[in-house]
């Protein structure tokens, strides 16, 4: 089912028995986050807090808290179907590459029906207030050493003034006072890129933040699309149904009409940056304080019955892991267009998406693993990956037990590991410098004579199929677990 807004999605979760509604008073400071954490770790349901302490707006959490719920939210049977959806576009008749096709979707007849629809009236503008007081919203503080309350599921809309194209990214926002927040776009992200342009031109940067939308639109804000690909077009494409956008009331930024709450305002690049953080982050550590721009909220618009959605990040698994897995599956066919030798990729949840990539390839020539490693280090957000290990095509890289077994057996560390330097994720805390440091590539494939390996490589141990079948039948008579 494709949902139009957060309300529809919550109703559907309720029908599926995947929503608990808590009527007791719960504090957005620590208590809500803790409940969500417990539910996530126990593969439990989503939750709606009806009675947040200090606010009369309900709070929804754990919207994407299991793989199955994320599939339901994104209207797919399996996260792999996201990749298949992308493949439809990859294989569409016009000979562009994938991103060109998405840029030119208007020209592709079968996809042009997914262009977002601009509407004049929108639920997200039912209530308008200029007396901005963010403390009236049930904004969470999730961990004891957090620098304050943070908006954790915001869809931050900015515009590239040169191309007129909009960007939507999810960047957490620390509440500094009743009408100011931080704008935590990391240096590599599209919002930060837009900000640098405004800074160079010394111009005020209009920003709109939508909180709460249909689940596919929320997901899309977390997907690392190329800068000039409009996330709202991509959301409409994934939904197979246009999303409705409405012009903000103070700028010409287009925002999801079905959003719950919209913060309209600006970032002034002439202002000094402000100290943001610390924040219990998805690395499982606190991200350290650092300087980020301030966002001034001039107006809040919202639905009459607005619900405030939030997430908690922390030690994995948390719900952002399932959003990340959706991205892993969605991007696989696009990466395969560039590296067709890739069979599968696993960005393990414990590696929080930038620490590890386990890749299986159909090895064709000497040094092939290193070609794949070096190419991945040049691709979009994969360029931030700290450790990449490459395996042969028969290795199931989704099975961490198999990955560790093969890795240990198949490498001569000095020969099979390369080090290089490059950009690192902003949340990387072990490198000497922020954003920049070393990376490791590991060739864990079977080594060939042509690669200088003069010994014989041993075979995997496998029983023959006929013996397996025969003994299967026999064993069934004695042991019911077969
Ligand atoms: C719950 C959650 C919180 C996130 N917080 C941030 C953040 O504070 N800063 C940031 O740069 N990226 C954050 N991200 C990752 C970005 O949303 C992601 O990289 C996205 O691609 C950014 O959009 P962009 O590619 O248009 O810049 C977060 C992701 C999730 C799922
Ligand atoms: Mn983007």
Q: Which ligand is nearest to the CA of 435?
A: 1
Rounded Cα distance between 65 and 327, Å, is 15
**Tokens in use for 320?**
């952002």
pLDDT value for 328: 97
Average pLDDT, whole number, for the chain? 96
How much of the chain, in percent, has pLDDT values that exceed 90? Answer: 91
Relative to beta strand 244-247, strand 254-256 is antiparallel
pLDDT value for 399: 98
Q: Which ligand is nearest to the CA of 321?
A: 1
**Tokens in use for 247?**
């012009």
Closest CA to 342 of 331, 354, 353, 356: 331
pLDDT surpasses 80 at 9: yes
Say yes or no: CB of residue 167 within 6 Å of ligand 1: yes
CA–centroid distance, 231 to ligand 2, in Å, is 6
pLDDT value for 415: 98
Phi, psi of 434 (to 5 degrees): -70, 145
Say yes or no: CB of residue 294 within 6 Å of ligand 1: no
* pLDDT mean over 324-329: 97
* pLDDT mean over 148-175: 96
Domains and CATH numbers, the chain: 6-310 (2.30.110.10), 339-451 (3.40.1670.10)
Q: Whose CA is nearest to atom 18 of ligand 1?
A: 222
Say yes or no: CB of residue 185 within 6 Å of ligand 1: yes
Q: Whose CA is nearest to atom 12 of ligand 1?
A: 171
Residue with token string 């198999």: 402
Q: Whose CA is nearest to atom 29 of ligand 1?
A: 222
* pTM (predicted TM-score): 0.96
pLDDT in tens, 340-368: 999 999 999 999 999 999 999 999 999 99
Phi, psi of 196 (to 5 degrees): -60, -35
Q: Whose CA is nearest to atom 21 of ligand 1?
A: 224
Say yes or no: CB of residue 169 within 6 Å of ligand 1: yes
Relative to beta strand 127-129, strand 294-302 is antiparallel
User: Which is higher by pLDDT, 411 or 85?
Assistant: 411
Alpha helices in 359-436 (DSSP H): 368-376, 400-410, 413-416
Q: Residue 243 carries which DSSP code?
A: P
pLDDT surpasses 70 at 93: no
pLDDT in tens, 251-305: 999 999 999 999 999 999 999 999 999 999 999 999 999 999 999 999 999 999 9
pLDDT value for 193: 96
- Active-site residue flag, 281: yes
pLDDT value for 103: 81
**Tokens in use for 356?**
């590890």
pLDDT in tens, 224-235: 999 888 999 999
Which of these is catalytic: 281, 320, 416, 443? 281
Torsion on CA atoms 334, 339, 340, 344, rounded to nearest 10: -70
pLDDT surpasses 70 at 140: yes
pLDDT surpasses 80 at 324: yes
pLDDT value for 102: 80
Relative to beta strand 286-287, strand 279-280 is antiparallel
Relative to beta strand 59-61, strand 117-119 is unpaired
Say yes or no: CB of residue 184 within 6 Å of ligand 1: yes
CA–centroid distance, 156 to ligand 1, in Å, is 10
Q: Which ligand is nearest to the CA of 193?
A: 1
């Amino acid at each position: 089912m494709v949902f139009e807004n957060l309300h529809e999605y919550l109703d559907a979760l309720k029908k599926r028995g995947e929503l608990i509604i808590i009527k007791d008073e719960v504090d957005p400071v620590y208590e809500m986050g803790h409940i969500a954490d417990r539910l996530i770790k126990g593969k439990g349901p989503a939750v709606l807090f009806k009675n947040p302490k200090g606010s009369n707006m309900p709070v929804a959490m754990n919207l994407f808290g299991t793989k199955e719920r994320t599939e339901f939210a994104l209207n797919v049977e399996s996260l792999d179907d996201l990749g298949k959806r992308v493949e439809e576009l990859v294989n569409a008749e016009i000979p562009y590459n994938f991103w060109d096709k998405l840029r030119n979707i208007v020209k592709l007849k079968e996809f042009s029906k997914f262009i977002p629809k601009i509407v004049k009236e929108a639920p997200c503008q039912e209530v308008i207030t200029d007396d901005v007081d963010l403390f009236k919203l049930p904004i969470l503080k999730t961990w004891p050493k957090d620098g304050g309350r943070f908006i954790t599921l915001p869809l931050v809309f900015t515009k590239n003034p040169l191309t007129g194209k909009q960007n939507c990214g999810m960047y957490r926002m620390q509440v500094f006072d009743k009408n100011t927040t931080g704008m935590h776009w990391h240096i590599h992200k599209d919002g930060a890129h837009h900000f640098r342009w405004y800074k160079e031109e010394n111009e005020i940067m209009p920003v709109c933040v939508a909180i709460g939308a249909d689940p596919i639109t929320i997901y899309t804000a977390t997907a690392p699309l190329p800068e000039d690909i409009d996330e709202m077009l991509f959301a409409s494409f994934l939904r197979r149904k246009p999303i409705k956008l409405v012009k903000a009331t103070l700028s010409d930024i287009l925002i999801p009409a079905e959003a719950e709450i919209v913060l309209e305002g600006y970032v002034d690049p002439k202002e000094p940056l402000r100290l943001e953080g610390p924040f219990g982050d998805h690395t499982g550590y606190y991200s350290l304080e650092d300087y980020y721009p301030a966002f001034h909220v001039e107006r809040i618009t919202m639905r009459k019955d607005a619900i405030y959605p939030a997430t908690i990040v922390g030690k994995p698994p948390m719900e952002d892991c399932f959003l990340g897995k959706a991205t892993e599956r969605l991007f696989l066919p696009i990466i395969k267009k560039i590296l067709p030798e890739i069979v599968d990729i696993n960005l393990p949840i414990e590696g929080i998406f930038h620490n590890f990539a386990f890749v299986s390839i159909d090895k064709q020539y000497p040094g092939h693993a290193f070609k794949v490693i070096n190419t991945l280090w040049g691709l979009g957000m994969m360029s931030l990956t700290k450790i990449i290990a490459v395996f042969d095509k028969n290795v199931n890289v989704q099975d961490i037990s198999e990955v560790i077994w093969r890795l240990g057996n198949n490498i001569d560390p000095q020969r099979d590991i390369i080090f290089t330097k490059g950009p690192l994720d902003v949340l990387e805390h072990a490198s000497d410098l922020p954003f920049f440091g070393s990376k490791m590539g590991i060739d864990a494939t079977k080594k060939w004579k042509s690669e200088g390996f003069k010994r014989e490589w041993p075979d995997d141990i496998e029983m023959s199929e006929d013996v397996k079948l025969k003994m299967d039948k026999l064993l069934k008579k004695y042991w019911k677990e077969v």
